[in-house]
Structure 1
């Protein structure tokens, strides 16, 4: 893998939209692009994480986070050392630790961000909880445990203590404006690499 990109944010922040736009840009340049959108449905950890996210309660909250972490680590192990991949893009990654209990989440984040790969192209789409909820409501999908206004507000506040080394992009902007900001940063780092 030559380039590692992460796009994260609250539910409804536009992560998958931005991942697809970015993957398309690199594919048009002739790059071999692999996208991992966590939780991934192609393995048991991703499926178990999604199952827990569709339920409620503290146990499912914890299970969703643990299985999500295992899913992300699986993706790292399987794809980060693959030299045939030019660009590896993760939708959701290590910020999932913010869903762990306060105090523990900070310790786990520091450990995880030290052990797992990071890059200059890690983006957090900072969408307002109200816009996030509006977008979630426009999807035709089952609602997950964190997809309510109280959780969205709480998790947006929590995210601020973890995104100090991320590129924070205002997530209420249009998809085109957000995409331009992400692409400019990625292209800037591409030029620094060459």
Structure 2
């Protein structure tokens, strides 16, 4: 099963991806926890290019190409081999983030994102958790990490607000695989809700 976590910066999706992986491993599942951009050596190199530096370092069009290249390498070297071996793959971000951050944030480029995705990736997750969070709180959390990968946070709260609305719209568009979860609660409470949804989805998948 292929599971992705999406949401604005600071929504807690990385924490929840890790907690779900830990829970599933305790239940005896073989789990690969990965992330985007990144998750393979080549994709991690591209990650440094797109997440560090000045906010205006790349155009949205160039970012789409870079993210797609990273995702292709990630799929070839990490995701597809793990799925073929019968493992559960959990990724912190996938194509939905590119649909939002590059496809909608700085121009109407969603069609280009989807075209490239169809040509070069051709795969959606089986289950996507969209962690919903107030943009101001999420941005404060993200900036509070004091890390080096803050290029998108530096675009400010306006971008985060547009991305939140975009992710919620995306969840409606892909309602068959997306589940919106309120991230503005204690992490363990959020994790319990996610674990229950994941257990039901896994049970359905195994029956099918």
Q: Where on the TM-score scale, by shorter chain, does this alignment land: which range? A: 0.7 to 0.9
CA distance in structure 2 between the partners assigned to 1:34 and 1:85 by the alignment: 11
For normalisation by structure 1, the TM-score amounts to: 0.85
CA distance in structure 2 between the partners assigned to 1:28 and 1:158 by the alignment: 34
Corresponding residue of 1:153 = 161
* Residue 37 (structure 2) aligned to one of 31, 36, 39: 39
**What's the C-alpha RMSD, in Å, of the aligned pairs?**
2.4
Conserved? CA contact 2:40–2:74, under 8 Å: no
How far has the Cα of 1:186 moved from its partner? 0.7
Corresponding residue of 2:7 = 9
Task: Give matches, 1:1-194, under 5 Å.
Answer: 3-40=1-38, 42-55=40-53, 56-57=55-56, 59-78=58-77, 79-82=79-82, 83-95=84-96, 96-98=98-100, 99-100=102-103, 101-106=106-111, 108-109=113-114, 112=117, 115-119=122-126, 121-142=127-148, 144-147=150-153, 148-164=156-172, 165=174, 166-192=178-204, 193-194=206-207
CA distance in structure 2 between the partners assigned to 1:161 and 1:107 by the alignment: 18
Conserved? CA contact 2:6–2:130, under 8 Å: yes
DSSP 3-state at the match of 1:160: helix
Unaligned runs of 5+ in 2: none
Query: Runs ≥4 in structure 1, deviation > 4 angstroms?
Result: none
DSSP 3-state at the match of 2:90: strand
Conserved? CA contact 2:46–2:70, under 8 Å: no
Aligned pair count? Answer: 191
Conserved? CA contact 1:4–1:88, under 8 Å: yes
